[in-house]
């Protein structure tokens, strides 16, 4: 657990009709969150109706990719399948508001901390798809 | 002014709690149901309602076919996994007090150690899909693949906010293993632990959860019988009245991957709502009771729930625990059977049966002068007591 390298066989996301845009966006290098076209609110996890105004017109909006780590943890036993080292799993609060489950990569777990400023990157899955992960933002230090 | 309960728990039954039951989940289910009916002085012919929750591997047809239940009027299967365990009391009470049913059986039976591993990831390529499983869709590709990894993201936020260490979570584990050590039905009967034992157990999810922060994986079955108070008065056992039983769900709440309900995950607004509904509905607050049966899937959940249900203030649960309040002779004795950590993990339901024994005065680790017992599983709560 002394380093945290990219997964070589990262598991595939479970893609549903309401989430396909998110994973397809990741394959293009875009971090997308569904936005209500009527009231402009952002919602994640995505859903087919805006719970605030009940509009059906939910449109993917591209996020800046900048966020901060709210909390984090390293699953060690049982060892997560598809990973070559225990990953740092984190809740990342995007600067636009939504919170995502993701990984922090390229950071020594011994120096990991809450509040770290991070920026999105993308990593491949075993089946050739992609997922958004986060690395240290420019100028951020651990 | 507290109203007298209109319905009561009249029977409880259970199998042994083991790591390898050697028989089917359906057999465990019908064994514990028959035991609960025997305890009540009822027969399967009296049963007209069945309740369990979503992950149970036995179905209502199978249960009816084994027991010869021939006139079922009501069956429900509740959402939210173990959080449904106390919600079953709310449903059974509603079915009885509305007049739909005379006798409702609640069951939960599982071989979650010998047949499958509840605490471990699904096999590669066998990821379940399905509605509302945010932990599958949004966590699996990131290596958060088992319950402890989902829980840890909330627990670590609590550690960070209040300066709590993993050794502080160990206080809960030591307390529950102390209770289990004197409960002959507990898997860890005669096996108390120390904080040093807790700290020597391996990391499951660093820096939040070690092995001894996790509940067990158990095989076993538990059943409960609910009837009207009028019927209860004619039966074998002291009626354990249901003063109040409530359940709550909110937009953006999930069960164990409960990350989206607000900025601060160290609060449980859903449990605060359960507390407030109990107080307004039956006049008892959770902290007014003499025994607290609180769902312990992982040690940090006890801290979060103690605070949300109002036993202590925000960030005070470590001190509340360290000061002895959860001891059998403390202010809020916690799960005197040893809970899921010490006795066994029958998905919440063995906490309900222990609450009933405490109310009857027949528990292995009996708390003195029990008038009300608090049952809690995060999204649901109940106040029961001898009547």
Domain-wise residue ranges, chain A: 20-136
The verdict on whether B260 is a catalytic residue reads no
Q: Which residues 7-26 of A have a C-beta within 8 angstroms of B?
A: 7, 10-14, 16, 19
pLDDT in tens, A56-80: 999 999 999 999 999 999 999 988 9
Helix ranges (H only) for chain B are 25-40, 60-67, 87-97, 134-139, 147-162, 166-180, 195-200, 229-232, 269-282, 299-308, 317-322, 339-342, 349-360
B263 to chain A, closest Cα gap in Å: 9
Q: Which residue's structure tokens are 């076993």?
A: B220
pLDDT confidence of residue A14: 82
Helix, strand, coil proportions of chain A in percent (round to 5)?
A: 10, 35, 55
A125 touches chain B (CB under 8 A): yes
**Mean pLDDT, chain B, as a whole number?**
95
A112 to chain B, closest Cα gap in Å: 10
B250 touches chain A (CB under 8 A): no
| B22 burial type by CB count under 10 A (0-12 exposed, 13-18 middle, 19+ buried) | exposed
pLDDT at residue B151 greater than cutoff 60 = yes
Q: Domains of chain B (ranges plus CATH)?
A: 7-115+215-386 (3.40.47.10)
What number of other Cβ atoms are within 10 A of residue B261's Cβ?
16
Asked whether the beta carbons of residue A75 and residue B148 sit closer than 8 angstroms, the reply is: yes
pLDDT in tens, A86-130: 999 999 999 999 999 999 999 999 999 999 999 999 999 999 999
B125 touches chain A (CB under 8 A): no
The verdict on whether B345 is a catalytic residue reads yes
Contacts of A87 in chain B (CB under 8 A): 142-143
Measured between CA atoms, the residue of chain A closest to residue B158 is A71
Rg value, chain B, Cα: 19
A89 to chain B, closest Cα gap in Å: 7
ipTM of the complex: 0.95
């Amino acid at each position: 657990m002394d380093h945290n390298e990219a997964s070589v066989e990262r598991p595939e996301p479970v893609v549903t009709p309401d989430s396909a845009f998110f994973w397809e966006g990741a394959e293009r290098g875009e971090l997308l969150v569904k936005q209500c076209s009527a009231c402009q609110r952002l919602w994640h996890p995505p859903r087919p109706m805006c719970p605030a105004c009940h509009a059906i017109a939910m449109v993917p909006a591209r996020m800046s990719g900048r966020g901060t780590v709210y909390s984090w943890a390293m699953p060690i036993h049982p060892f997560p399948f598809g990973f070559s080292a225990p990953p740092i799993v984190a809740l990342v609060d995007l600067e636009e508001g939504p919170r995502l489950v993701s990984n922090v990569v390229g950071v020594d777990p011994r120096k990991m901390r809450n509040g770290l400023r991070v920026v999105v990157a993308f990593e491949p899955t075993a089946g050739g798809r992609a997922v958004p992960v986060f690395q240290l933002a420019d100028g951020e230090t651990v | 002014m507290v109203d007298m309960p209109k319905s009561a728990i009249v029977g409880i039954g259970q199998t042994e709690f083991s790591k390898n039951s050697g028989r089917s989940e359906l057999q465990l289910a019908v064994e514990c149901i028959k035991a609960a009916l025997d305890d009540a002085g009822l027969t399967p012919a009296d049963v007209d309602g069945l309740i369990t929750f979503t992950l149970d591997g036995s179905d209502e047809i199978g249960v009816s076919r084994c027991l010869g239940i021939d006139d079922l009027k009501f069956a429900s299967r509740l959402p939210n996994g173990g959080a449904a365990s106390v919600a079953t009391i709310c449903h059974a009470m509603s079915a009885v007090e509305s007049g739909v049913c005379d006798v409702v059986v609640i069951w939960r039976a599982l071989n979650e150690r010998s047949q499958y591993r509840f605490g471990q990831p699904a096999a590669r390529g066998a990821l379940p899909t399905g509605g509302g499983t945010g932990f599958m869709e949004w966590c699996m590709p990131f290596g958060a693949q088992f319950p402890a990894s989902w829980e840890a993201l909330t627990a670590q936020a609590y550690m960070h906010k209040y300066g709590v260490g993993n050794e502080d979570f160990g206080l809960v584990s030591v307390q529950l293993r102390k209770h289990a050590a004197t409960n002959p039905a507990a898997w860890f009967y005669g096996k108390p632990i120390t904080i040093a034992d807790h700290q020597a157990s391996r990391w499951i999810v660093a820096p939040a959860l070690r092995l001894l922060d996790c509940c067990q994986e158990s095989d076993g079955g538990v059943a409960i019988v609910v009837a009207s108070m009028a019927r209860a008065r004619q039966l074998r056992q002291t009626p354990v009245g249901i003063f109040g039983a409530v359940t709550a769900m909110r937009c953006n709440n999930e069960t164990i991957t409960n990350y989206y309900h607000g900025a601060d995950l160290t609060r449980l607004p859903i449990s605060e709502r359960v507390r407030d509904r109990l107080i307004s509905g039956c006049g008892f607050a959770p902290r007014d009771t003499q025994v607290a049966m609180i769902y312990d899937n992982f040690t940090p959940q006890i801290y979060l729930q103690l605070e949300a249900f109002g036993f202590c203030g925000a960030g005070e649960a470590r001190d509340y625990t360290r000061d002895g309040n959860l001891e059998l002779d403390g202010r809020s004795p916690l799960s005197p059977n040893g809970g899921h950590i010490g006795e066994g993990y029958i998905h919440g339901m063995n906490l309900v049966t222990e609450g009933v024994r405490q109310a009857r005065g027949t528990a292995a680790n009996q708390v003195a002068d029990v008038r009300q017992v608090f049952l809690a599983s995060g999204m649901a709560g109940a106040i029961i007591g001898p009547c």
